[in-house]
A and B are shown apart, each in its own frame.
Chain A
Amino acid sequence: MIRLAGEHGLLVETGSLELSHRLDAALRRERPDRVVEIVPGPGTVLVVAPGGDRERLRERLADVLARERATTLAAGPAAAAPVVTVPVVYDGADLEPVAELAGVGVDEVIARHAGRELVVGWLGFAPGFAYLTGLDPVLHVPRLGTPRTSVPAGSVAVAGPYSAVYPSASPGGWRLLGHTTLRVWDVAADPPSPFRPGTRVRFEPA
C-alpha cells in the first residue's frame, strides 16, 4: 500500500526492513523526477518530491516495489552491501550490568557483540545515529531507567534488539559496552556517515 503523506510525500509500505533497503537502493539508483528525500524505516520508505506529479510518482513507486519484491523472492538476500568494521575498546560503564542481565560473563558479552555481522536498519535520533539490527538475542537488554545526561561521542551501546555508536556527545539511555575511535559522523566528509540503511557492520575488539 502507498499512503499519501501530504501534498509532496508518499509513504510506501514495504512490510520488511529488507524490502525497505532494496527499494531505497533502487530509488537512489534510478531517482525519479523531483525526489529530494528517500527515508527508509523498518516497514516503510517515505519519498518526498516537492512539485512533482504525485500520481505518476505513485505508479512508478508501485512498479519499483513490485519488481524489488519479486527479486527478493527469487534471489534471496540483497547483493553485497558495503561492510564497515568498527574497532571497539570494550571498557563501557555498563559492561558488567549487561553481563548480569544477560546471565553470561563479560567475555561472552564481548564475543557475542563482536561475533556477528549487524545491518544498519535506519538512522534517526541524531545525525549519523544508526540503529544496528541483528544483535545477538542474549544481548537484548532494557534501556537504563534514567538516561545519562551526556554520553561521549564514539560510545558503543546496546538497547533492546539494537546496537549503536553514538555519533556525537548527547544524552542517552542505551547501555554502554565500550568505545570506538572510528568517526561515524563528520560533516566535512562525503558522505558524512559511513553508515546508511543496509550497510553491514562488524564490531572488532581493538
Chain B
Amino acid sequence: MIEVIAPGPYATVQDLGRPGFAHLGVPGSGAADAASLKLANRLVGNPEGLAGIELTFGSARLRFLTGAWAALAGAPLPAGPVRGAAMGAPFWVPAGAELRLGAPWRGLRTYLAVRGGIAVPPVLGSRSTDSLSGLGPEPLRAGTLLPVGAAGGGLVADFAPLPELGPAVLRVLPGPRDDWFVPEALEELCAAPYVVSQDSNRIGVRLRGPELVRAKDGELPSEGMVTGAVQVPPSGQPIVFLADHPPTGGYPVIAVLRAADLAVAAQLRPGDEVRFTIRRGR
C-alpha cells in the first residue's frame, strides 16, 4: 500500500487505457506518454500495461506502507531520500519510507511504476483516470491510499539512460481533413514554432502561433478522432489531442502526429516552443 502525502500539481493512476469503447463515447485515456510508463514497468519487471502513477510537474511525496521495488521514467526529476532513488533504474523503497520527488528539470510528466502495479479496481478494463469523462479512480490527493498488486516472475535488472534532449519536434502525416484548409496551411503549420498554452492538459496540447486558414466554411459533421490528431478550431490555433481526447469531434484535423511522437507532445510544458515537420508517406 502507498499513501499519498502530497500529489503535486496533478497526479493520476494510469495504465494503457480503455480502448474499444470509443463508439460508446468513452475516451481511450491511459498514460499520456505511454512509452515512459511502459519503460518504468519494464524496469521493475512488470508487464508493460500495469498501472503506475502519472505525475504532472512532479513535486510529490509518497509513503510506502509496504516495501516495494519502484522505478521512475519520463520527465527527469530529483528523487530521494530513499537510497538509490533515481531516474531510469529500479530501486527498493523500504516499508515506512517516504519517497520525495522534486520538480522535473525538463519535460512535464513523470511515471512511477511499482513492482506488482497500482491495483485500484479497474473500470471497463482499465485503472486509468479519464480526466474528460471522470471514469476510473479520482485524481490523487493527500491521504489517497493506493494498493499494490502481487509481483510475479523474476526481477529483470535493467537500466535506461535518459534520452538526449533535442529540440521539440512533432512529425506529422497530412490529413484526414487537410483539404478543409488553404493549400499553404500545412506549410504554415511547419514554418514557425508554436508555443504551448497554459490551457493544455491530458485532453490536448493547445498551441499558439501561426493561424491556419480554412478554405471551407461551415460545419464538419462529427467524426471519429485519433490520438495525435491536430485539430483546428475556428480560431486557427491547433490543438494536439492526447490520451483523454473526446472520441468524436467536429473540427477538421489538418494532420496527425506520428505515433512515436505522442510521447514528445505529452512532455511539452506551457511556454515551450515546438515545431511541426511533415513526413509524407510511411
Q: Is the CB of B175 within 8 A of A123?
A: no
Shortest distance in angstroms between B74's beta carbon and chain A's nearest beta carbon?
21
Closest CB of chain A to B219's CB: distance in Å?
11
B156 within 8 A of A: no
Are the CB atoms of A44 and B20 closer together than 8 Å? no
Known: A11-B224, A37-B224, A197-B23. A125 touches B123 (CB 8 A): no
* CB-defined contacts of B225 to chain A, threshold 8 Å: 46
Chief secondary structure at chain B's binding surface: loop
Is the C-beta of A129 less than 8 angstroms from some C-beta in chain B?
A: yes
Given contacts A124-B222, A127-B133, A196-B24, contact A5 B248 (CB under 8 A): no
Whether A6 sits at the interface, judged by CB under 8 Å, is yes
Is B124 an interface position by the 8 A CB rule? Answer: yes
Across the interface, B23 reaches (CB within 8 A) one of A11, A129, A196, namely A196
Interface of A is mostly: loop
Chain B: residues with Cβ within 8 Å of the partner, total of 36
B226 in contact with A42 (CB, 8 Å): no
User: CB-defined interface of B94-112 with A at 8 Å, one 1/0 digit per residue?
Assistant: 0000000000000000000
* Per-residue B-contact encoding for A2-20, CB less than 8 Å = 1, 0 else: 0111111101000000000
CA distance A189 to B227 in the complex (A): 27
Q: Are A39 and B248 in contact (CB under 8 A)?
A: yes
Task: Closest B residue to A44 by CB, please name it.
Answer: B223
Task: Give the distance in Å from the alpha carbon of A93 to the alpha carbon of B160 in the complex.
Answer: 59
Cβ-based interface call for B208 (8 A): no
Q: Which of B146-154, B189-197, B210-218, B250-258 touches A?
A: B250-258
Taken together as a complex, chains A and B put the C-alpha atoms of A114 and B19 apart, in Å, by 35
- CB <8 Å contact, A41 and B223: yes
Contact A123 B24, CB 8 Å, known A36-B19, A41-B223: yes
B155 interface residue per 8 A CB criterion = no
Q: Which 4 A-B pairs have the closest CB atoms?
A: A46-B224, A39-B224, A6-B256, A3-B176
- 28 A–B pairs (Cβ distance < 8 Å), ordered by A: A4-B173, A5-B176, A6-B228, A6-B259, A7-B173, A7-B259, A7-B282, A9-B176, A9-B256, A11-B223, A36-B20, A37-B22, A37-B23, A39-B22, A39-B248, A41-B223, A42-B222, A45-B224, A46-B22, A50-B259, A122-B23, A123-B247, A123-B248, A124-B222, A124-B247, A126-B133, A130-B25, A191-B24
Give 17 new A-B contacts, CB below 8 A, not counting A42-B221, A50-B259.
A4-B173, A5-B253, A5-B256, A7-B259, A11-B176, A36-B20, A37-B22, A38-B23, A39-B22, A41-B221, A41-B223, A42-B223, A46-B224, A127-B24, A127-B25, A131-B222, A168-B134
Binding site for B on A (CB under 8 A): 3-9, 11, 24, 36-46, 48, 50, 54, 122-131, 168, 187, 191-193, 195-197
B residues near A (Cβ < 8 Å) are 19-26, 28, 123-124, 133-135, 173-177, 221-226, 228-229, 246-248, 253, 256-259, 282
